[in-house]
Structure 1
Amino acid sequence: MPGDNAKKALIDSLNGLLADLFALYLKTKNFHWHVAGPQFRDLHLLFDEHATELFALTDIVAERVRKNGGTTLTSIGAIAAKSTIADDDRDGLAALDMVRVLRDDNMTLIGRIRAAKAAASDAGDNATDGASDDWTDQAEQRVWFLTQVLGG
């Protein structure tokens, strides 16, 4: 039977994942609002689809934290303290640079998801372990789409 340390590590890992989901959601939405250029319509819609996927996962991940007996992030400051995905406040970023940034951030997110999966396995949380495969698949699809926009 997994111990308290494994459960605490899982809760910490899930909160880190939650922070990165919020950070990537906000960055994706920001790029959705500010994209410009010849691919505007396609990228505007793609970024919005991706933001919707990311936001939908926030509640699911937060509920996994609560179901494991933990508390979730409570503020923007808590998100910033736990996130590994950096803010991007640059004005006038070119559309393909936005795509590149989001692709790289989604690859970072895949690492966070895999870490949460490992922590779930260590803690005996089969539900999170299994769900994380779907989360990984969604992130890999975003990476694939963004990579294709960049020309493969």
Structure 2
Amino acid sequence: MAKVRALPQRKKVAPLDTPTDLKPEGVAAISKALNALLADTFALYVKTKNFHWHVSGPHFRDYHLLLDEQAAQIFATTDDIAERVRKIGGMTLRSIGQIASLKRVEDNDADYVPPLEMLRELMNDNKAFATNLREAHEACEKYEDFATASLIENWIDETERRTWFLFEASRGADRSGH
């Protein structure tokens, strides 16, 4: 009778353990940076939509459309960020609670915010977001995740464009947005 050899023991792979050539410490660092960006993205999206819904005054139409366009652009990045975390083998956000605990964008729940203050606040939020994107880019470079770094470069460009538009729309305006 032939002798049957036992198969070598294999490490059990978790059902969501996406294979990657990145080192585990790279996956952890980049996933952490991207999840913070994802939380910021959701917070910035909601804040931009809040201001879009509540803007008023003589430039209502222009500001309303500008903020809607910017909110759509911000929201469009959420899936790309989350899927990038999964592609490199990380786990992404699962709840509003996680978003709230990781976000660095401050809420503005005021009943009324003058249009100029809305634009300036969003301009500053976008500037801070660009800084956070650059920090995440540094983590990608450190661990040689060139694909994520490339995506972040595009997101920086989009964020700088939003910042520029908000700056120009608020330049020389009085508090009411005139």
Q: TM-score, normalised by structure 1?
A: 0.96
Q: Which has the higher helix share?
A: 1
Residue 146 of structure 1 corresponds to which residue in structure 2? 166
The within-5 A match list for 1:1-150 is 3-150=23-170
Q: Are the equivalent residues in 1 in contact too, given 2:40–2:104 (CA < 8 A)? A: yes
Larger Rg: 2
What is the CA RMSD across the aligned residues, in angstroms? Answer: 1.3
Percentage of matched positions with identical amino acids = 48
**Alpha-carbon separation, structure 2, partners of 1:28 and 1:104:** 12
Deviations 1:121-152 (A, max 9, x none): 11221111111111000000000000001217
C-alpha deviation, 1:7, in angstroms = 2.0
Deviations 1:44-71 (A, max 9, x none): 0000000000000000000110011111
Structure 2 alignment gaps of length 5 or more: 1-20, 173-178
Structure 1 alignment gaps of length 5 or more: none
Deviating runs (4+, > 6 A) in structure 1?
Answer: none
**Alpha-carbon separation, structure 1, partners of 2:26 and 2:90:** 12
Count the aligned residue pairs.
Answer: 152
Deviations 1:1-34 (A, max 9, x none): 8642222111000000000000000000010000
**Alpha-carbon separation, structure 2, partners of 1:7 and 1:69:** 7
Higher RCO (CA < 8 A, seq sep 6+): 1
